[in-house]
Structure 1
Amino acid sequence: MSKTVMIVDDSASVRRVVGIALKGAGYTVIEGCDGRDALTKLTGQKVHLIISDVNMPNMDGITFLKAVKQLPAYRFTPVIMLTTESEESKKREGQAAGAKAWVVKPFLPEQLVGAVQRLCLP
């Protein structure tokens, strides 16, 4: 049975690259174009991991992460922040909100898949 990963990024090209890498590694992918859109797609189904951008319209990644952690079904879902932000203060804010990893763009798809494999819920 394949594991499900949600990708949240306002860039369609980033969602495509990440999606291709994950699907190639055997994952099922759900996409959200921003935090608000992604929250509407978290309807109680099992999501093994979430990859989220930080800077997005409507709802940014940190706000989205905090909202996810309030949902009982997703409280323990690991979240990887995939972002151009490399400032320590942003990373600390992300970790405080519950992010398990911080991957800075540009990234190697293999690196990201490796992080997903390490962090994915069983």
Structure 2
Amino acid sequence: MNALERVARHKEELDSIHGQIDKHSERVISEQNEIEERLKAEVQKLKSSYEEKVAAQMKAKEEMEKELIQSKNEAEKEVKSLHEREIERLNSLVNELRHEIAAFEGLNNMVIPSFF
């Protein structure tokens, strides 16, 4: 085998190796792209899930705040109603006492002249 044939054969071997390297590089790049796409999809899925959870928590918080405000308002109304009823009861007692005092004074006025 002469030198020219050996050079040609080495060139063919190198070309074959370069072809294999190119195919391997293409496969690696393709796999890398697939992995990147899967990671992007997973990140988006996680992001969406997180956003949904945050939105649900915010909604729950708002609902709790509404319920607390409603409970507070109802409690304030109940306290006001209790105060009004207690004031009415006390006013009624005051009126009863006034009537009793007036009756007592009336009796007292009747009794005193009879002694004199």
Range class of TM-score, shorter chain:
under 0.3
Structure exhibiting the larger radius of gyration computed from Cα positions = 2
Counting strand residues as a fraction of each chain, which structure ranks higher?
1
TM-score, normalization: structure 2?
0.14
- Higher relative CO (Cα under 8 Å, sequence separation at least 6) belongs to 1
Counting helix residues as a fraction of each chain, which structure ranks higher?
2
TM-score, normalization: structure 1?
0.14
